[in-house]
Amino acid sequence: MALLTFIGAAQEVTGSCYLLETRDGARVLLECGMHQGRRDDEARNRTPFPFDLRTLDAVVISHAHIDHCGLLPRLAREGYQGPVYATESCCDLLELMLMDSANIQEKDAEWENKWRARLGKPPTTPLYTQEDAQKALSLRRGVSYGSTVEVARGVRVTFHNAGHILGSAVVEIEIHEQGRCRRLAFSGDLGNTCSPLMRTPTPLSRADVVLLESTYGDRDHRDNQETLQELADILEQAHKDGGNVLIPAFAVGRTQDLLFYLGRFYQEGRLPQQTVILDSPMAARANEIYLRHTNEFSDSDREYIRGTGTVKLSEWLPPLRTTQSVEESMAINRIKSGAIIIAGSGMCTGGRIVHHLKHNLWREECHIVFPGFQAIGTLGRNIVEGAEKVRVLRQRIAVKAKVHTLGGFSAHAGQSQLIQWVGHFENKPELYLIHGERTKMDVLQAALLDRLAWQANIPEPGEQIAF
């Protein structure tokens, strides 16, 4: 008999964290993600861990997005010294993601303390530091797709391709105790089958308990070709309007998708802009990691790129410029027209995109393209939902630019894809919906009952189940 506790990402999108305990005393933490969104949500990242980290045998990470791994440095700072298991390419991305996150934590604390000093308030400390991130990174243990590793006594883990971002995994956990084998399948974040570069998520057929993400459980994404045509139309209209195109994008995953599509447009003679700027040193480094793992790309997209005769990103998308320094980033704001500017963060909660919004959001000739999910409480969500004015860098800015949402570019599976993937399981194991807003979970729960005659459960935060 094993016990599973839903610590995070229960009736919410971020903060992924689950504790698995066996009767034989093994304790494995599945995910250690950061809460993102509203100020209250982010404040939860400082609350004490609801478990004794000294008794943990291992941590297992599905992929390198911060809402799945972002609290690993804090875990290490507070004394965890055990292994952290992830796929090999995920381990590469973890270094990029956690060091960047630690740098943000340090800079945010520095900025906050300047204001606190003026108000006579005591200083704050960063959630964690780059030194803490290095401690966490020293614990990484890379595992290849399809290989099985024993992470604790009687607990074996196999990573399968989830098709979400590079190195993303469906996590299959086998618990062997007292002559029995129980299986837990964790979807992680399942990829959109229309996403470029990534492979189709690997289906599984056997489990006793399934944890299924539900980020887009309430709807399907638009047809991929329709979405690409919409993006092409937006770029053409922005060219005619004489403004810039701003695209807030996650440095890992979404940016690589966008560069692939913009490169296709260029190769096909359909890119009107003369300048594409990637204003994200982190995304530029992620590009290098992706190019080291092209064996994980889908066969069709790898063949398409090879067929164009390009071997470098500079040949695939010649108008591309990348920035490194803050000065180079600031210089972009002198460009008033003809540029596509891709920058993070993807939900506009910070990063360089915020500065570009300050200089372009109020301009009617500009276009803002949101290619991904915007969590409740984020600046991106407020803009998408039609706010006439928003607060950017402590200033109220009028939203005059044309705003577009391209749901077809999501790296998450849509409702039908989620149902199709989970439908491969035989005998309808216990099913729990996670990683989604409650309203979206309710819709997916009803759809599963209607299409598969399968009653899914929606766990409460902190709920425990035995299996």
| Mean pLDDT of each 10-residue bin along the chain, 467 residues long | 96 96 97 88 92 96 97 98 98 97 92 90 95 98 98 98 97 94 97 88 98 96 89 97 95 92 95 96 94 92 85 89 94 96 89 94 97 85 95 93 88 95 97 97 98 98 97
pLDDT digits (tens, 9 = 90+) for 310-345: 878 888 999 999 999 999 999 999 999 999 999 988
Residues ≥6 apart with Cβ < 8 Å to 136: 72, 73, 75, 76, 84, 98
> Residue 411 corresponds to which tokens in the numbers above?
């790296």
Q: What architecture does CATH give domain 224-409? A: 3-Layer(aba) Sandwich (3.40)
pLDDT of res. 350: 81
> Residue 248 corresponds to which tokens in the numbers above?
């807030």
Per domain, the residue ranges of the chain are 2-219+411-466, 224-409
CB distance 156 to 143 below 8 Å = no
Annotate 207-241 with b (16+ C-beta within 10 A) or e (fewer).
bbbbbbbbbbbbebbbebeebbebbbebbeebbeb
The reply to whether domains 2-219+411-466 and 224-409 share a CATH topology is no
pLDDT of res. 394: 84
What angle is formed at CA 234 by the lines to CA 230 and CA 237, rounded to 5 degrees?
A: 135
Q: How far apart are CA 89 and CA 290, in angstroms?
A: 8
Q: How far apart are CA 31 and CA 19, in angstroms?
A: 9
Tell me the pTM. Answer: 0.90
> Residue 262 corresponds to which tokens in the numbers above?
């913009």
pLDDT of res. 217: 97
Q: How far apart are CA 270 and CA 49, in angstroms?
A: 51
- With 0-12 / 13-18 / 19 or more C-beta atoms within 10 angstroms meaning exposed / middle / buried, residue 453 is exposed
Q: Are strands 275-278 and 320-322 parallel, antiparallel or unpaired?
A: parallel
Q: Does domain 2-219+411-466 have CATH number 3.30.365.10?
A: no
